[in-house]
Every structure is written in structure tokens, then in C-alpha cells.
A and B are shown apart, each in its own frame.
Chain A
């Protein structure tokens, strides 16, 4: 054992038995939990302070957002299918599912852009009230996370097309998948806290 090649940045024997990259990803997601917890706390503090701007119940289009939330949740399913495909060494099908995941993510982001635009037209901008600031920054940062996820998915697809995904293809897909599922779960929390829990307004 002692004189074997030590190759870093790759799957290797580890002290805990957990892959390095996976451990790092879990640590990173732990950090992200605190990030979103801080943003959500801020939102909870300010959600009733709307000043003269529209109140949450006036402005939220719950059916619309429910649909886009459903789209995002479905993308977790396609992500699982992509991972399943690469487990079967079926890169072609994996690309299809990854692409589907990315497209579903893009639909969600499109919905968010539409939502933001509508809100601004209805008189709720970033600087309208503390509620509006907290709303835009919280959901905006989530949107940014989804966008990063889409870029990562598309990168995987491109790498696969150019034959650069292997070695370690499974692990790469699994890591991006972990991130993607995390971002989805955070959205479930945000959707519940922001859209579903009624406010005084």
C-alpha cells in the first residue's frame, strides 16, 4: 500500500471510505444551508413590511409559481434518470436526460424572469420596501444557483459529446446531481415559506 501511486483529485482509497469530491460536495452544501437559512430568516423578519407597495397576497400568482415549482421538481426526476443512464454506461441516454434536466431548469428560470418582470410592472421593485428587498434577494440567489446548475449540466453534456467525460463520468454526474437536488430541495423550502405561509398583509 505504502508505495502505490498517490493520485490526487481522483477516486482513491480514502480514510473514511467516502470519495473526496463527494465529501467536499457535502461540506459545501452544508455551508449553502447556512447561506439560505440566513436569507430565509431575513425574509421572515421582513415579510410583513410592505409599506405602500403590494402585499405578498396581492402580488403572488400562486398557481403560476406552483406550476414552475412542479417543473423544477420534475427536473430532479430527470436528473435521477440521467444518473441511472450513466450507471448503465449509456452516455447517449444520459445526455438526453441531462439536457431534459437543463431545459426544465431553464423553464423554471424563465418563469422566474417573467415573475420578476410582472412584479416590477405592478410596482414592486428591489427598493420598494424591506419585503421586496428580502424577496428579490432570496429568490434571486436561488435563481442564480439554478443558473449555475444549468451551466454545469450543459458542461457535462458538452464534455460527453467531445468524449471528455470519462474517466470518472459517473462520479461527475453524481456530484452535479447532488448539487441539483439540493437546489431543488431549497426551492421546496422557499416555496413553502415565501408563497404558501400566509402573511398579515
Chain B
């Protein structure tokens, strides 16, 4: 591209490698960053999965001896933190990174270097959290970190928690701002908001949720940090601190967080179903506005996590009502997905199976969710395995199925080769069965009175059978994941080669080569329709019925593989400053953790040098 010509300005010249490991470290290409997000998240998925298996091994039988109480508390806390902050959110970010610019016809995100910075902050934040295992103990106060247990736990674990999540929050905030600006500002000509693919819409809603949720948890985490490290009193009841403050701040972030995890998957499913049903999405406007409504209402339901805290009957009633009615837009989405399949010609490819898996499992999670709003009975359900079952149906049956669907759907676009269909189907069915065996019985265990977060349980509670089944299910999921990784490895050499448009796709990412060139589109497309790419392939007759326009026919290939040499496409040059700046953050965190001024100074200097290097390096237009 535009790089070879300018080797100037010594220290501040930009790295130019396009291949090799250094090109990955310095890349600002949204596609490379997306791939790095994806594989890092999959790595943490294995780690979090191993933690899940440890939990299930411990609970397979009463009086389990696999883990000590202390180890169990660390493992379940880290399982939650890993799956939420290091797997589901970044896996969403991975697909957003790769596909949002492609879907709106842009050449990159608005701030490529901030994008790289976000990725490195995420990676370093995750590694920082995991160093805690070697440095005196991992976080052991639950992912929800309720004060004052989180201020009183004696190992450094919860300080790692406060600092680690703070770092990850910076990554999320950077990503959110980037996507907001990218989606609002960098759409191809004609790509109006109401022509955007649903995945792009859900990314936009998710980004706004992150934008406003992250600062709230940041304040809570800072307060926890000041309490733990410098003896402040925010949550110390002996001097009048109120532990419930933490809960309000945490859930004011925590509930939008739930939608942050599920909305991207809903977007993916909303794009997969039309493709494989061969018809447009049913009720596009309704599904978009339902997503926005969920985004707004998500701010008004946080106290349904706190029905047993003692907020009083008035507050409990109000939050019961808001919780019930957030089910309405959710229901709208489910009916619209059903309507999308209705009357279609459904092709049972692996992405579709995962999308349908998402819808069917999410219905279960949604229904159990409504039952939590029955406050008098929520007193029974809360903090039991019924809740564990519920949110795994939403976040695993929902988000994870959706994300796997997205990976199967977009893998050929990202790597030019399909993941194996046969292995994909084996993966899907094993995962679906394993998932239901693992988490279905938890509904029953909860109703049998088994609380969450218990390292062991006695023999005489009637919980033995279903716990064993659940453990079997968990290991079945693990097998299905192994099949997935085998599929990934196999596809590198044996995967069926995919053309630009392997699924008869509808949206712009299919209008360019697989994998796309660095500049995404040789010609920025002019958008005239929703599902614009589909409309370049099909025309409509007088009755409005679609007629395939065959290759060579009018207009079909105008946007594909046609290189115009009329312009010189400037792409942002790689930069090593984002990774440098990002590295300063964990160093600073260690400085706070050990109250070490030299470490703080070093961390601060790394950050400053990174940022100044960033600010002063020649930007693309100077070339």
C-alpha cells in the first residue's frame, strides 16, 4: 500500500512489516486485530473451561475432595471473570472488529491505533489477572465482589480483581468509543442507519451500554481499591460505610453488562437466519427498536439482583415490574426470528444450527428470567443453582452459541476456507446435548434448595444424582470444544476453499474477497438497499418476486474483484506505540498492588512514552 515510499524521521518512523510476528504486534488493521481478539478469547475460553471442569469435578459427588475450599473460591471467581471479561465480551469484540467496518463499507475503524491499544490492554489485563495465581492467590470473592467480603479477604486476590477489571474496562471503553464513531461516521454512501445490518445495530447499542456502564464500575472498583490498598472506608460498616453502595454501583454496571454480552450474539443470529432462510429479516425495524429498547430498559432493572437486600416492598415492586416488561422487547426479537424462518427455504448449515440453538436455548433462559421477577418466589430462587441455570442458558445457550454461529458463518470470510461442515455438526450436537445435560439439571438442583458458590455439599440433601449428570454434561461440552479446535486446525489445510460469497450472503462483507484485502474494498460500495449485496445479485420482477441475476448479468459483479486504479488507497500505517502504552497499565497496577513508588514511576513513564510516541509519530497524511 502506501508505505514503501517514506522511510523518514528516525525514531518516529512507523513500522512497515506486513507479515511475520512483528506485523501482528504493530498492526492497526481491524481485521488482524479482530483475529487476535478471537484467538486470545478462545485461549481464555480453554482456561475458563478448565476452571469450569474443576468446579464440576469437585461437585460431581458430595463432599468433593478435588479442590480445597480456598482453591474452589478462587476457581469459581476466576471462571466467572474469565468467561465474562476475557471470553464472551472479547469474542464479541473480535467479530465486531472484523465485520463492522466490512458491513458498513468502511476501510477500517475510525481510530485504528486506539483499536490496537484496546486489544493490547485487554490481553495485558487478562494476563495481569492470571498472574495472581502465582502471586499469593487469585480473586476469591466472586465475580460480583460484594463488599465487605471483597475488602476483608486477606489474600491479594481481590486487589488483583479491582485493578485487573479496571484495566479491562479501559479496553472496553476504547472499543466502545471506536465503534460508536465508526458506525455513526464511516458508513459507505447510501448506508443509512436503517439500512445497516442488525449486527451493526446491536454493536452500536452495545457500545453505548459500555460507554455508560464502564465508568460506573470504574468508580466502584476505585473505591474498592482505595479501601483495600489505602484504608479508605467506602464499604466499612464499622465506621458507617454502606456495603449496599457497592451492590448498587456494581449492578448498575452489571445488568447492562448482561446485555453487552447478549446483544452482539442477537445481532449475529439476526444476520445468520435471513441468509440461511433465503429471505429478509422479519420486522427489521421492530428488531432494531427492540434492541434499542433493551438497551434503555437495561438501566432500569439492576435492583432485581438485589431483591433480598432489603430495599423494601416499594422498590422491589418497581423493579419486579421493570424486569417483567424488559421481557417484551426480548419476546419481540424471538418472534421476529421465528418470522424470519417462516416461509423461507432453510439450509441446515452449521451456522444456522448454532443460530437456531441460540433461539431455542434463549427462550428457556428468558422464561426462567421472567420467573425471577416474581419477587416473593425469587427469595427462594436467588443465589441457588436455578440462577446458575438461568444465566448459563442466557450466556452460554445464548451468547456462546450465537458467537460460535458467528465464527462458523464468518470463518470462510476471515480465512478463505470453511470450517468442516461434518465436524461442525458434530460440534453443535455434542455441545447442545452436553449443554442441556450440564445446565438443565441445575434448574432442578436450585429448586431442591442447592445454593450457589458452595465448595461441597453433604450427602443427604438429595442433590447427588443431578450433580453427577451435570458434571457428565460439562465434560461432554469439553469434548465438543475439542472437536471445534480440531476443526480449526484441520481447516487450515483441508478446509474447503471459500469464494467471496460462500453462503449466498446478503450484506456487504460478502462483496469483497475472502479473506478481504487490507483495504477491504477496492471500490467503496454505494448502498441503495438494506441487504444491499443481495440486491446486486437478485432483481425483482413485476410482482416483487426475486429473480436471480446470473453472473455476467447487469450489475452483479460491479462491486466484486474489480480494481480501480484511479486512486491511491492510503491505509493507516502500523504503529508500535499502542502496545507500548498498553504495557504501562499492568506495570502501574503492580505499583498500586505493592504500593511500590518505583514501579509506579516506571509504569507511568512507559504509559507516557507510549502516548507521546503515539501523539508525535507521523500520521498517515504526512506522507
Contact = CB atoms under 8 A, between A and B. Distances in A.
* Co-assembled chains A and B: yes
Interface of A: 1-10, 14-16, 18, 20, 23-24, 27-28, 30-35, 38-39, 42, 45-46, 49, 51, 126-127, 129-130, 132-134, 136-137, 141, 155, 159, 164, 167
B184 interface: yes
A144 to B, nearest CB: 11
A161 to B, nearest CB: 13
B621 interface: yes
Given A4-B567, A8-B110, A24-B181, A30 B245 contact: no
A96 B596 CA distance: 38
B209 to A, nearest CB: 11
The contact size tier of chain B is 35 or more
Interface string B541-575: 00000000000000000000000101111111000
Contacts of B226: 126, 133, 137
18 contacts: A2-B524, A4-B567, A6-B107, A7-B621, A8-B107, A9-B111, A15-B185, A23-B180, A23-B185, A27-B181, A28-B173, A28-B177, A30-B212, A31-B177, A39-B219, A46-B240, A127-B233, A155-B612
Contacts of B230: 126-127
A171 to B, nearest CB: 12
B368 interface: no
A37 B589 CA distance: 25
A28 B236 CA distance: 32
Nearest to B522: A3
B526 interface: yes
Given A3-B564, A15-B191, A39-B219, A34 B181 contact: no
Interface string B161-193: 000000000000100111011001111010100
Interface string B399-426: 0000000000000000000000000000
Contacts of A164: 616
Contacts of A34: 212, 215-216
Contacts of B107: 6, 8
A35 B112 contact: no
B232 interface: yes
A7 B573 CA distance: 11
Interface in B202-240: 211-212, 214-216, 218-220, 222-223, 226-227, 230-234, 236, 239-240
B185 A126 contact: no
Interface of B: 107-108, 110-113, 173, 176-178, 180-181, 184-187, 189, 191, 211-212, 214-216, 218-220, 222-223, 226-227, 230-234, 236, 239-242, 245, 249, 519, 523-526, 564, 566-572, 612, 615-616, 619-621
A51 B237 CA distance: 12
A45 B564 CA distance: 63
A45 B242 contact: yes
Nearest to B192: A15
B211 A31 contact: yes
B463 to A, nearest CB: 40
Contact of A167 (B241, B612, B621): B621
Contacts of A45: 242, 245
Q: Which 7 A-B pairs have the closest CB atoms?
A: A35-B215, A38-B219, A133-B232, A14-B185, A3-B567, A127-B231, A49-B240
Contact of A126 (B187, B222, B232, B519): B232
A31 B215 contact: yes
Contacts of B519: 6
A9 B219 contact: no
A8 B211 contact: no
A74 B191 CA distance: 44
Contact of B240 (A35, A130, A159): A130
Contacts of A32: 215
A7 B181 contact: no
